[in-house]
Amino acid sequence: MVTCDLERCMFCGGCVAVCTKDAIVVYELKVAIDPERCIDCGNCITVCPVGAMGRP
Amino acid sequence: MASFGEVYDVAVVGGGPAGLASAKAAAEAGAKVIVFEEHPAIGTPVQCGELLSRSALTELGMRPSKRWLANEFRKVRLVSPGGTEALIEMPPDVETPLFTIERKIWEKDLARLVGKAGATIVTRARVTDLVRKDGAICGVKVRHLKEDRVVRAKVVLACDGPGSPIGRKAGIKIPTSPSKYASIAQYQLAGADIDADIGEVHFYPSPKDICYILPKGDGYANVGYGTLGAGSDRAITMLDGFVRHDPRLAKASIIETNVGVEPISGLHEEISVDRLLLVGDAAGMVNPLTVAGMRFSAWAGVRAGRLAAEAAEDGDASKERLGQLREAFLKLFGQRFRFMDALRTTVFGLEPRDLDDMFAHLGHVKIPARLFRGKKEPVFYPLRMLVGLLIRKPRFFKKLGPLIKARRGGE
């Protein structure tokens, strides 16, 4: 599953736009990724402008 | 303590340019309007280069104001990966189309007009879902200050930005492929050695890596990098590389960092369902090359607001009726978007030496003032000049020919 490094994240919500499973919610200084929905497609990792999204 | 009611004509999801433009127009047309913005302030975070088009101001009934106008400039410098430069200059006696703003203040100014028009804006209010009755959309669920509320509305305008989570909840298909999105990082620099009269576009280090400098005056500038669906590395890494390599920027202070992801696939196939309409970035109303969105959000917001107010009044908010916005948008901007898309594809297919040749051929371009009168697009002038290159260097026939043909189709 994809995780978000909150020290890098700028909370722009770009990951939400490319998520095929609506698994990510970004609000203010929080990012919630639903492990039940995430299919590890990597779209969010590709578009994240700051490299916050990744695999542990 | 902010309070709001339970029943409105129009509920607007998102308090950015599209949402505010929609709310202003709908309220001015007599509708009872509420705007929900999830962030604690209108205008932040900035996800924008802060280059504004005058037509956006005209649409919104705004005039340039000292409070938010940062800088006007007349020249654009293009720089190839090898360092060859072209300079495009606007005529001195026309209003320059190029100016930068302080987006946070500009957007608050727009919100002021929305308030004046009689619409309610609620900040720190996140729309989490749609409310349906017998399957039909009839409102939104809002989380505001730890409280979950239901607000009923005759029409919902989803102005919730790239990817439109609310549009998806309505069943509208939104592109998710990373190749259909630009990934952008930007620093606001202070103390940069930048000419306030020149904006810059650098193809660095390759033709598909687009870096820009937008001057805001007095050594203050927005410097950014966009992947446009096909960059060499993540946006912030490429931006750091660009800033380090340019001695005018390397010593400047970063006083703000902005990032964002924007759709570049053009207007979505579908932007409406019964009682819900997408507007702005949510609908894909973003120039596929420049990633400019504010002017399209302003244009579409004004139309969407009026459309929603009319629909609320006479009770017909069908998918087809709200979909009129899509037809109108395509009629006005469809060809331009197709051309910009073709231009991006063309540039990405070029080799670094192609850009050297093109920029050397262009040299110093002075756009004639006559192009600023009437309906012509001055931005196409430099492209027309490249036709001469096709004759001199045959390899450009294959590369630029289709583009110039596409341009003719749009004239």
Q: Which residues contact B181 (CB under 8 A, 6 or more apart)?
A: A14, A17, A18, A47, B162, B175, B229, B261, B262, B263, B264, B265
What does the block give as tokens for B329?
């948008």
Across the interface, do B163 and A50 touch by the CB < 8 Å criterion? no
Closest Cα in chain B, distance from residue A39 (Å):
14
- Parallel/antiparallel/unpaired status of strands B276-278 and B272-273: antiparallel
The tens-digit pLDDT sequence of chain B (411 residues) is 458 999 999 999 999 999 999 999 999 999 999 999 999 999 999 999 999 988 899 999 999 999 999 999 999 999 999 999 999 999 988 888 899 999 999 999 999 999 999 999 999 999 999 999 999 999 999 999 999 999 999 999 999 999 999 999 999 999 999 999 999 999 999 999 999 999 999 999 999 999 999 999 999 999 999 998 777 899 999 999 999 999 999 999 999 999 999 999 999 999 999 999 999 999 999 999 999 999 999 999 999 999 999 999 999 999 999 999 999 999 999 998 998 898 888 888 899 999 999 999 999 999 988 888 766 667 778 877 887 787 788 888 888 877 777 766 544
Torsion, CA B344, CA B189, CA B103, CA B382, rounded to 10: -30
Q: Tens digit of pLDDT for each residue in A3-56?
A: 999 999 999 999 999 999 999 999 888 999 999 999 999 999 999 999 999 998
- Which chain B residues touch A17 with a CB distance below 8 Å? 161-163, 174, 176, 181, 261, 263
Give yes or no for a contact between B237 and A52, defined as CB atoms under 8 angstroms apart.
no
What does the block give as tokens for B316?
């017909």
Q: Does A6 touch chain B (CB under 8 A)?
A: no
Q: What is the pTM of this model?
A: 0.95
* Largest Cα–Cα separation, chain A: 25
- Which backbone phi and psi does B127 adopt, to 5 degrees? -80, 120
- For residue B147, what pLDDT is reported? 95
For residue B121, the cross-strand partners are B35
Of B47, B36, B4, B5, which is closest to residue B293 (Cα–Cα)?
B47
Q: Tens digit of pLDDT for each residue in B82-115?
A: 999 999 999 988 888 899 999 999 999 999 999 9
Q: Which helix (H) or strand (E) holds B385?
A: helix B381-385
Q: Determine the number of helices (DSSP H) and then strands (DSSP E) in chain A.
A: 2, 4
Of B229, B231, B232, which is closest to residue B182 (Cα–Cα)?
B229
Q: Which of B184, B236, B256, B257 to mutate to test the interface with A (most CBs of A within 10 A)?
A: B236
What does the block give as tokens for B216?
């805001």
Helices (H), B230-323: 235-245, 247-250, 294-314, 319-322
Across the interface, do B176 and A46 touch by the CB < 8 Å criterion? no
- For residue B231, what pLDDT is reported? 73
- For residue B1, what pLDDT is reported? 45
Across the interface, do A13 and B261 touch by the CB < 8 Å criterion? yes
Across the interface, do B176 and A17 touch by the CB < 8 Å criterion? yes
Q: Does A11 touch chain B (CB under 8 A)?
A: yes
**In angstroms, rounded to a whole number, what is the distance separating the alpha carbons of residues B279 and B65?**
26
Q: Does A36 touch chain B (CB under 8 A)?
A: no
- For residue B408, what pLDDT is reported? 60
Q: Which residues contact B112 (CB under 8 A, 6 or more apart)?
A: none
Across the interface, do A49 and B161 touch by the CB < 8 Å criterion? no
Helices (H), A1-56: 14-18, 43-47
Give yes or no for a contact between B13 and B19, defined as CB atoms under 8 angstroms apart.
yes
Across the interface, do B183 and A11 touch by the CB < 8 Å criterion? no
Decide: helix, strand or coil at residue B74: coil
One-letter amino acid for residue B203 of the chain: F
Across the interface, do A50 and B235 touch by the CB < 8 Å criterion? yes
Closest CB from A20, A27, A50 relative to B126:
A27
**In angstroms, rounded to a whole number, what is the distance separating the alpha carbons of residues A19 and B277?**
21
**In angstroms, rounded to a whole number, what is the distance separating the alpha carbons of residues B180 and B229?**
6
Burial B155-177 (b: 16+ CB within 10 A, else e): bbbbbbbbbbbbbbbbebebbbe
Q: Which of B129, B168, B183, B228 to mutate to test the interface with A (most CBs of A within 10 A)?
A: B183
- For residue B375, what pLDDT is reported? 63
The overall average pLDDT reported for chain B is 93
Across the interface, do A12 and B45 touch by the CB < 8 Å criterion? yes
For residue B36, the cross-strand partners are B13, B122
Closest CB from B168, B174, B261 relative to A47:
B261
Give yes or no for a contact between A33 and A22, defined as CB atoms under 8 angstroms apart.
no
Across the interface, do A51 and B126 touch by the CB < 8 Å criterion? no
**In angstroms, rounded to a whole number, what is the distance separating the alpha carbons of residues A6 and A8?**
5
- For residue B393, what pLDDT is reported? 84
Q: Does A7 touch chain B (CB under 8 A)?
A: no
Closest Cα in chain A, distance from residue B335 (Å):
25
Q: Would you tell me how many other CB atoms lie within 10 Å of the CB of residue B270?
A: 17
How many residue pairs from chains A and B have C-beta atoms closer than 8 A? 76
- For residue B374, what pLDDT is reported? 67
Across the interface, do A14 and B181 touch by the CB < 8 Å criterion? yes
